Amino acid sequence: MGYGRVVVTGIGIISSIGIGVDEFWSNLIAGKSGISAVESFDTSKYENHRGGEVKGFNPLDFINETKIKNTGKTSQFGIAAARLAIKDSRLSIDSTISGRMGAIMGTTMADSQRLEEMDKVWIESGEKEVDPALISQYPGNSISAAIGFELGLKGVVSVIPTACSAGNYSIGYSYDLIRMGKMDAMLAGGSDSFSRVAFTGFNRLFAVAPEKCQPFDKNRKGMIVGEGAGVLLLESLDNALNRKAKIYTEISGYALSCDAHHMTAPSPDGISKVIKKAIKNSGIDPDDVDYVSAHGTGTLANDKAECQAIAEVFKERYKKIPVSSIKSMLGHTMGAASAIEAAACCLAIKNSMVPPTINYETPDPECDIDCVPNRARKYDVRVALNNSLAFGGNNACLAVRKINS
């Protein structure tokens, strides 16, 4: 069986800087911050109180009212982003395509808020008072299952829980399914809603900045916890051409690797290896890369290690390649992060515009890349790489390119 080409024909975004591709992109290139005071729960006992929460999200815009009670917020985000991607692509899901179309989603926390609710009721009122509906919403597989059920998808439906790299993993797996002829179209991405567990965990790791995320800045103080969802509609090139779909970009390849080094500390060697593998698997040359969407969390260790890896891969070119972190605007959206960043890569190519790294104030000699400081830049992007680096050393790098390249 030969391998077919895979393209992106739809984008759906739920984020702290916008719902839908147009609002998201306009605010992204404007350098708008989505960081605000946390409203999901009381943070008075924490040292930090800010996060990248989604404002103005109404699940009734995407889900029937009768289903909302049985759908956790992470799944709601996932359904909403999937519907937006379908709408953007103008794909009609009929009986012909439904059996050849699926959904692969990534996540870190899934609907962990439901577990928090169960624990609270159990402790305060006893186990018999726990709503059974909460139990069915907690497992991570509920995200893709909810999307499949909502849209009538009968193909491959699964969840990949590789934390901060999960979105890229999901896009990569979906790409494989289509190019090998097993599926005609896939909804691929990631979703995570704001979680007390994640907020507490990162605060206890002393990895959270008090006010703002400053990737690559000498005085960076850490990451900011965020939430959201990003979904790409992937199709075989033949399918997209047959229905005369608009095409954002082509997926040219991806790579995965494990550092086998440390549960939380990144390895420059592991990062450089996954970037090199993605370049090789895509059939491109390092000199072809025009833009890198960095993992760029704003922590001291991550940013330094990622910059070292970029320098190792691109040699004397590394200071000339635009490398930005949109987490400076969104915060770290966990399992949604690399999916939203993949969407940003597609839009950067489509619009010949590179998003900025905001909050950049003081250069760091150990992060001497071109981080596109504070302002978006008009730039002809033909090939973009999307880095994602998760706890446990689970790395993924996705390559996308202009369809005519």
Beta strands in 279-393 (DSSP E): 291-293, 323-324, 353-354, 377-378, 383-390
CATH number for the domain harbouring residue 139: 3.40.47.10
The CA-based dihedral angle spanning residues 233, 191, 355, 23, taken in that order and rounded to the nearest 10 degrees? 80
Query: Are 214 and 74 in the same domain?
Result: yes
Query: Are 61 and 169 in the same domain?
Result: yes
Q: Is residue 47 part of a domain?
A: yes
Share of the chain above pLDDT 70, in %: 93
Q: What is the pLDDT of residues 36-92, one digit of tens each?
A: 999 999 999 999 999 999 999 999 999 988 887 778 899 999 999 999 999 999 999
Among left, alpha and beta (phi > 0; psi -120 to 50; other), residue 201 is alpha
Domain boundary among 209, 242, 275: 242
Phi and psi at residue 350, to the nearest 5°: -65, -35
Q: Which residue has the tokens 């800045």?
A: 217
262 in active site: no
**pLDDT for 137 beyond 70:** no
Q: How many CB atoms lie within 10 A of CB 398?
A: 29
pLDDT of residue 326: 98
164 in active site: yes
Domain boundary among 242, 269, 285: 242
Query: Are 224 and 76 in the same domain?
Result: yes
As a whole number of angstroms, the distance between CA 28 and CA 192 comes to 19
Q: Is residue 219 part of a domain?
A: yes
Query: Are 88 and 182 in the same domain?
Result: yes
Q: What is the pLDDT of residues 96-121, one digit of tens each?
A: 788 899 999 999 877 666 666 666 66
Query: Are 82 and 211 in the same domain?
Result: yes
List 49, 213, 262, 295, catalytic entry: 295
Q: Point out which residues pair with 291 in neighbouring strands.
A: 384
**Confidence bin at 1 (pLDDT 50/70/90):** very low
List 213, 307, 332, 346, catalytic entry: 332
Query: Are 287 and 145 in the same domain?
Result: no
307 in active site: no
Range of 384's domain?
Answer: 253-401
Nearest in space to 201 (alpha carbons), one of 278, 286, 263, 117: 263
Name the residue with higher pLDDT: 368 or 125: 368
Q: What is the pLDDT of residues 299-349, one digit of tens each?
A: 999 999 999 999 999 999 999 999 999 999 999 999 999 999 999 999 999
pLDDT, averaged across the chain:
92
Among left, alpha and beta (phi > 0; psi -120 to 50; other), residue 319 is alpha
Kindly give, in sequence order, each residue whose CB lies less than 8 Å from that of residue 178, ignoring residues fewer than 6 positions away: 4, 6, 184, 185, 186, 234, 235, 236
pLDDT of residue 28: 98
Q: Is residue 107 part of a domain?
A: yes
Q: How many domains does the chain have?
A: 2
